[in-house]
Amino acid sequence: MNNIFNYRIFLLLLRYILGGVFIYASIDKIQNPQEFSDLIDNFHITPITLNNIFALTLPWLELIIGFGLITGFFLEASLKIIILLLIWFIFILAQAVFRGIDTHCGCFKVGDGVENIDYKFLLIKRIFEDVVFLGMALILKFKAQFNKGK
Amino acid sequence: MELFLFLFRLKQFLNVCKFLFMTNTQKQIIGLILLSIFFGLIRNYFLESPLSLLKEKRIFETIEVQTNNNGEFTFDLPKDLTEPLNITIETVDYLRITNQSIIIDARDEEDFNKGRIKGAINIPFDYYEEFEFQLDDIDLEKILIVYCSGGECSLSIDLADYLMLDRGFFNVLVYEGGWPEWKGAGLPTE
């Protein structure tokens, strides 16, 4: 009984952490869509024409699903979006590393990494973080009992 | 013709049916994405300078060094530039040799130290606040040439915009070919 209780606390904690991370990551991007759009340009993976739309939409999606995770509203949909987003982030960061693109990630703040000269190391660190978040999201997706677990 | 119209209507109808039979989660995912687009557009509307929904790649006008009737090189910059101009490698070399310009490397310090155009100074765009003092005593009419890693690099354009719009320099040029082209051409480096 105690184990089940601890397990539910653990899942709840994962949800709060993941939700908090996504909300935190979205705020700076919502405030500076122009800079975020330029950052997306730097990854050279999406057509430039669409980057402003991505820059305007993506942070809000992160914010909404972050709240979704914390409050439990649209939990399953939020989790699915988070998993897809994290896989996408890992892909674009990895291609930037392999292609040797000199860019900073901007995952948390648009100006983040400014002091860090070694962009490749920063990108690999971000990939590692995203893999951890993806692991957390997958645990929630496959283990959590959404309706009972709150 | 009517058959096509009928098939078209049938397809529309089936699409609607497909949406109705989607699982709740799929509907929610679409709903959340639409909500994000809605909030994004509202946010854009209230921005001081809203982004255009379809972004266009900036294309700079290119200006080149000319040869006059006597076979001498001349370079005339248009007056009252409103945005930076792009220049070719020959023009950079001409302006460098004739000492008419200041060449600015917008890459980070590490890349600058590995190799640069001869005589260039370093103002990395990412932390220009620490480096821009080098321009404090420079006449605003002086020609500034900004370059970075060529091709996909946007640091030179960002720095050129900053120098022109925020620092008030009148004659800012971007060398889009950048360090790879210069090095590949075997021109003077240090």
Q: What is the pLDDT of residues B42-84, one digit of tens each?
A: 999 988 888 888 877 777 778 877 777 777 777 777 777 888 8
Across A26-30, A106-110, B139-143, B186-190, the highest mean pLDDT is recorded for A26-30
**DSSP of B17-30, one letter per residue?**
HHHHTS-HHHHHHH
Of A42, A57, A81, nearest to B40 by CB-CB distance is: A57
Percentage, residues of chain B above pLDDT 90: 15
Q: What is the architecture of the domain spanning B62-184?
A: 3-Layer(aba) Sandwich (3.40)
Q: How far apart are CA B177 and CA B123, in angstroms?
A: 18
ipTM of this predicted complex?
A: 0.83
Residue B152: both structure tokens together = 């996909």
The average pLDDT across B109-134 equals 87
How many Å apart are CA B139 and CA B24, to the nearest integer?
65
pLDDT at B20: 55
Answer yes or no: are the C-beta atoms of B121 and B134 closer than 8 Å.
Answer: yes
Asked if A97 and A124 touch (Cβ cutoff 8 Å), the reply is yes
A45 burial level (CB within 10 Å; 0-12, 13-18, 19+): middle
pLDDT digits over B99-115, tens only? 888 999 988 888 888 88
pLDDT at residue A147 in the model: 47
Residues of B with a Cβ under 8 Å from any A Cβ are 25, 28-29, 31-33, 35-37, 39-41, 43-44, 47, 49, 51-57, 107-111, 126-127, 149, 152-154, 158
Q: How confident is the model at residue A65 (pLDDT cuts 50, 70, 90)?
A: very high
